[in-house]
A and B are shown apart, each in its own frame.
Chain A
Amino acid sequence: MRALYVAGRVLKQFARDRRTLGLLIFAPLLILFLAYTILNSTIEAPNVEQLNMPEDMAAAFAKEMNLTAAAGEAEALDDLKHLKTDAVIIYTEPDITVCLEGSDSSLTAAVKKAVASAMSSYVRDHVNAEALRKIDEQKRKITADIDAQIKSVQDSVTEDIKEQQEKIKSDIESRMSEKFEDMKEDVKDKISSQLKSALRKKITGAVEKAAAAQREAVKRQLASYQQGVMRSVSQAAESYAQAVRRALEEYLSEIGAPGGADFQMPAFTPPVITPPELTMPAMKLSFGMPSIDLSDIEMPSVDMPEIEAPVIGSSDIKVPDIGFSVEVADISYSYLNGSDDMGAFDAAAPYLMGFFVFFFVFIIAGIAFLRERISGTLERVLATPIRRYEIVAGYFLGFGAFAFVQTLLIQFFMLYVLGIQIKGSLPLICAVNLLLATGSLSLGTFLSAFARNEMQMFQFIPVVIVPQAVFCGLFSLRDAPGWVQALSKLFPLTYGARALNDVAARGMGFPDIAPDMAVLAGFTLLFLVLNTLVLKKYRRM
């Protein structure tokens, strides 16, 4: 209940304090309006001087910027130095040098963007044609080259074949003739030996027959001669033996020898007659062989078929079509969220909204609470039986109500005056803003315990507010060092701004941002509890 009195008093005080009221309500709107005006104004066409550009290139560039030909490099750079122009483009085939003044990043970005888009269209319109021409030329050259090469190969192949043919022919001929000679010799040999052997056989047969017959005759003659000899001899021997016997018998009878029968006549052995050895007279057979003449056999001629080298016509070789053409990609952007004409302010709007809610509530709540400390009213309030948490809660409610109004105001201003598109739900944005405001006011009132005066309260801005603004996501932290990302997690604004961006720009719903809201609520609760504890400094209970 006492908290409500405190809250009511805070609000009443606000209502009476026109200056603070104005600051809280109109300052954020003014700043937002200024930021909107500055950030969303885009440089339509930068002023650029060019040097040495070919005509077609200059034409392409002129579509994207206010292009004028420079009088000379020194003059152009001088103009740039005195901010008369935004950039100087020097063409030194094949490179383009863009000289920038460089101190104005938005101007630099505008020039770069214009140059990039001019280059892209130039490349599309002119370089493509140039490339095609060069490719065609190259193609023709390649075809001719291939033709020449084919011809030379063909010639050399034909020659090779002819040579080879010649060689084969002579080889065959030489080998054939050699063989023919051999054959001839062989035939000659065979014929002569067969003839000879046949003749000899015949002759020898005849001779042998004659010889055998002669020998037989001779043998027979000899045998009969021998028989005759033998017979005569044995007749002679017989007659001789008989003669001897009769003579002996006579002799015995004459002598009147006893018995005449017991007498043994001595054996008579006719002399052995050895017939003379018959020697056959040696017969010599000699006969002449007829000679065979083969000289009149002709060697048959070898007919080689004519081998033709295949003719490769250059026309038969198809140079494959390269089918090359330079296509400069047309880039079109499609956005999940946002659109092409979303300016810097539109992108930053959710963050700015969060930041201003956070910043102004922090400053006003912090200073208001600080004033209570300085003026002694806090002490005076603590001299009543109020509980510490009732003071904190009262402040929380009073400022919460005020922050609610302020948040709504900022929100509607951005929405309806500045025309920021909000994709998600408006009440949800309001809820996040409110939560952010409560976090901010609890942080502000808590930190005011550590300030002795307003000046010291303002000293918290660079320490507490600026880092939060820088790290809240307004500038992408994706590639920031790890410690920066870790640090950003300690800041309530990080969660608030992210939730706002998720809802406002990305159209997310409550379930998506619930974790961020929970963290914000956690921060708020933490600072409220800390604030209650810090108040112990003023009263021991």
Chain B
Amino acid sequence: MSEAVEIENIDVRLGKAPILRGVSARIHEGRIVALLGPSGAGKTTLVKALMGMNPVCNGEIRVFGKKVPSFEALSMVGYMAQNDALYEDLSALDNLVFFGSLCGVKEKAAKSRAEELLEFTGLGADKSKPVKKYSSGMKRRLSLAISLMNDPKLLILDEPTVGIDPLLRIRFREQFLRLRNQGRTIFLTTHVMDEAQNCDAVLLMREGRIIAYGSPSELMAGAGTDSLEDAFLYHIGLSEKEA
């Protein structure tokens, strides 16, 4: 099994403050991997480092073997930011086509793909509405659709389920599974244990470090508990002991 993402011992500083310290991780292709950690753990920083937006001082990141930052790596990645980054005055379709064309999708192809994705995310009926009239859930869905416009092999989703209702959360989960089944790798961040539970693998992060990595069951077994939350707490204690 090849690696979608290889993170090798990276340090990330924002300004002078060190945010990530010696982070290493591998994300296998075709898996849904959750980056789990409390707010302020450095999840978004790691995601941005993956996208080439944050400078990496030490170590190296590779996406499908391509060193980050590079345009090749970017073209294989679909990205959904923590906040919906949408053009509110434009319609959903316009947003999709625009981002699609930035990713190099030809206009005609972009349109049909946009229609497809609108159907996929259940926005087909509202495709011509300006985004400012969308609810926050619809915006999340549109953001997901945008991230899929370039038919990425790797989806990087920063807190995709924040602020959405449980029903939509379930729909998202289904969609993630469908996308994985299409052969895509999904790397998402969350601070909700529950959500991580349904992933193939979980990276536990705290204070800029990865403190544990494994499937939810492995992590729970390692900690001798049957809840991911307890496992998380266990690994926190372990990491503190190490320190």
User: What is the interface of chain A, defined by CB distance below 8 A to chain B?
Assistant: 2, 5-6, 8-9, 12-13, 16-17, 375-387, 538-541
Contacts and interface: CB of A to CB of B under 8 A. Distances in A.
Given A16-B89, A380-B81, A541-B69, A386 B102 contact: yes
A178 to B, nearest CB: 135
Interface stretch (B71-79, B117-125, B200-208): B71-79
A469 B206 CA distance: 53
Interface stretch (B22-30, B93-101, B188-196, B233-241): B93-101
7 contacts: A5-B102, A12-B90, A375-B85, A379-B53, A379-B81, A385-B71, A541-B69
A386 B150 CA distance: 13
A127 B232 CA distance: 106
A385 B103 contact: yes
Nearest to B156: A383
B32 to A, nearest CB: 20
Contacts of B86: 375, 377
A383 B79 contact: yes
A216 B74 CA distance: 191
Contacts of A538: 53
Interface of B: 51-55, 69-72, 74-75, 77, 79, 81, 83-90, 94, 98-99, 101-104, 130, 146, 150
Contact of A384 (B70, B72, B102, B130): B102
A378 B86 CA distance: 10
Given A13-B87, A16-B89, A541-B52, A385 B79 contact: no
B53 A9 contact: no
Contact of A9 (B69, B81, B98): B98
Contact of A540 (B52, B75, B88): B52
Contacts of A17: 89
A383 B94 contact: no
B85 A385 contact: no
Nearest to A18: B89
A384 B103 contact: yes
Contact of A383 (B55, B81, B89): B81
Contacts of A377: 85-87
Nearest to B82: A376
A384 B99 contact: yes
B162 to A, nearest CB: 14
Most buried by B among A17, A380, A381, A383: A383
A72 to B, nearest CB: 68
Given A9-B98, A541-B52, A385 B104 contact: yes
A365 to B, nearest CB: 16
Give the top 9 A-B pairs by smallest Cβ distance, nearest first.
A380-B85, A376-B85, A16-B89, A383-B79, A384-B102, A385-B71, A377-B85, A5-B101, A385-B74
Contacts of B55: 540
A383 B98 contact: no
A128 B144 CA distance: 92
Nearest to B99: A384
A8 B53 CA distance: 25
Nearest to A8: B98
Given A9-B90, A377-B85, A541-B70, A382 B101 contact: no
Given A380-B99, A540-B69, A541-B70, A385 B75 contact: yes
Contacts of B54: 540
Contacts of B85: 375-380
B79 A380 contact: yes
Contacts of B77: 383
Contacts of A387: 71
Contacts of B99: 380-381, 384
Which of A13, A379, A380, A382: most chain B CB closer than 10 A? Answer: A380
Nearest to A17: B89
A467 B86 CA distance: 36
Contacts of B51: 383, 539
Given A9-B90, A380-B146, 14 more contacts: A12-B90, A13-B89, A16-B89, A375-B85, A376-B83, A381-B99, A383-B53, A383-B79, A384-B102, A385-B74, A385-B102, A385-B103, A540-B54, A540-B69
Contacts of B90: 9, 12-13, 16
B83 A9 contact: no
A374 B68 CA distance: 25
Nearest to B49: A540
A323 B81 CA distance: 96
Contacts of A13: 87, 89-90
Contacts of B72: 385
Contacts of A385: 71-72, 74-75, 102-104
Nearest to A4: B101
A12 B81 contact: no
Nearest to A383: B79
